[in-house]
Amino acid sequence: MSTQREIHTVLATVEYKGAHLEKLKEAFAPAKLLLVDRRDDAAIEAALQEADVAVLAGDLDERHLAAPKLRWIHCDHAGLNKSARPEVFEKGLIVTSSAGRSGPVLAEHVMYFSLALTYQFPRFYAAQQAHQWGIPGQNDLRGLYGKTMGILGLGNTGTELAVRAKAFGMRVLGYRRSVSEAPPGVDKLYCAERGDTLDELLQESDIVALVLPLSNATHHLIGQRELQLMKRTAYLVNLARGAVVDEQALLSALREGVIAGAGLDTFATEPLPSDSPLWDAPNTLITPHCTPAVPDRIGRSLDIISRNVEAYRNGQPMVNLLTVKDVYTKGN
């Protein structure tokens, strides 16, 4: 049986303007919307004394955990690992995210790394700058067609990626936590809750793409053992979170030729320190945790928020809901 829930006051630290702001107001109407600058600590403290819902530009912190009336927090970004604290569940808070708003371009980002690494782009670009015609071994290169992509994480980004990899003529292996039917484009599915391991996927994949959330269960999911299972010709692509990979093990694998290379967009420490050895790791491409946006990304966030407002009020299941299985304490 569903339970009706009212929303009285909403704290919003998102920087929406114009039509986007109006749509946010409409979604929560007739509730009072308190639009506060995310840097105005005093105003946030004051608003939290009456807010029962918060829409945050960033992650929750101790102020939100201590708020007397707060019941639901929406973080307007994808990864919730910084908000996935045990105290959230001890207090009974509902926490959701805007995961999925950028799924199509995050999937493109994986394909960008996959193509650039497979086509040896850095070597060809260096040759171009040197006015050199070609590179040694270029006739032995093979494209993505007919190769295998292993996707770890089949949420919004992973399902978008599977379709794109299949469009390139790739065989697609998928790994996810829960047991389900294989999404479109996935040729073989492995499920953690069914007792499946990563081993076969790692051994067979030419591209191993990480697009899964960071939690205690996925912290250092890829370490020395997993890297040793990969083909020496395979590439690792990380669009998840840096701590999903044991970076020291990855660095050693790259230096020793255990794998052919890596495309990295996320790191355990961000920004990546200038003296990090990953900058100079062999056959490694780095982007600064930045993916080109989808058209009207805020509009896509608002679609998720509006859907969740209705679900919250009607006591129905909400999308992108943080669960106990998502708790992350190992990086704190």
Cβ burial 147-163 (10 Å sphere, 16+ → b, else e): bbbbbbbbbbbbbbbbe
| Identified catalytic residue from 219, 241, 247, 300 | 241
Report the sign of the C-alpha dihedral through residues 142, 148, 152, 153, in that order.
positive
Q: Which two tokens stand for residue 264?
A: 């990295």
| Identified catalytic residue from 15, 22, 26, 270 | 270
Catalytic: 241? yes
* Cα 18 from Cα 60, distance rounded (Å): 25
* Cα 259 from Cα 9, distance rounded (Å): 53
Enter the DSSP assignment of 140. G
Catalytic: 220? no
Q: Which two tokens stand for residue 58?
A: 């960033």
Q: Which two tokens stand for residue 304?
A: 């998720």
| Identified catalytic residue from 220, 289, 297, 313 | 289
CA angle 89, 266, 326 (to 5 degrees): 15
Residue with token string 């708790």: 327
Q: Which two tokens stand for residue 288?
A: 């600064």
CA angle 204, 205, 207 (to 5 degrees): 170
* Cα 284 from Cα 253, distance rounded (Å): 12
* Cα 24 from Cα 44, distance rounded (Å): 18
CB neighbours of residue 133 within 10 Å: 7
Residue numbers annotated as active site:
241, 270, 289
